[in-house]
Amino acid sequence: MRGRLSGDGGLGAERRAVSGRRPPAVAVGGACKTLPVSANEPPTTGQPAATYDSPFLKACRREAVPHTPVWFMRQAGRSLPEYRKLRQGVPMLESCTRPELVTEITLQPVRRHGVDAAIYFSDIVVPLKAIGLDLDIKPGVGPVVEEPIRTRADLARLRDLTPEDVSYVTEAVGLLTRELGATPLIGFAGAPFTLASYLIEGGPSRTYENTKAMMYGDPQLWADLVDRLADITSVFLKVQIEAGVSAVQLFDSWAGALAPLDYRRSVMPASRKVFDAVAPYGVPRIHFGVGTGELLGLFGEAGADVVGVDWRVSLDEAARRVGPGKALQGNIDPTILFAPREAVETKAREVLDSAVGLEGHVFNLGHGVMPATDPDSLTRLVEYVHEQTAV
The residues assigned a catalytic role are 74, 78, 87, 123, 198
DSSP 65-86: -SS--B--TT-SSTT-HHHHHH
Residues in the chain: 391
Please list, in sequence order, all residues whose beta carbon lies within 8 angstroms of the beta carbon of residue 88, skipping any fewer than 6 positions away. Answer: none
Residue type at position 41: E
Torsion region of 161: left, alpha or beta (phi above 0 gives left; psi -120 to 50 gives alpha): beta
Residue type at position 191: A
Q: What are phi and psi of 23, to 5 degrees?
A: -70, 145
The SS3 call for residue 31 is: strand
Instruction: Report whether 182 contacts 245 (CB < 8 A).
Output: no
Buried b / exposed e over 201-223, threshold 16 CB at 10 Å, is: bbeebeebebbbebbeeeeebbe
Which residues sit opposite 33 in a β-bridge?
Answer: 26
Could you say which DSSP state residue 332 is in?
E
Instruction: Report whether 44 contacts 24 (CB < 8 A).
Output: yes
Which residues sit opposite 189 in a β-bridge?
Answer: 250
Instruction: Report whether 83 contacts 76 (CB < 8 A).
Output: yes
Instruction: Report whether 266 contacts 197 (CB < 8 A).
Output: no
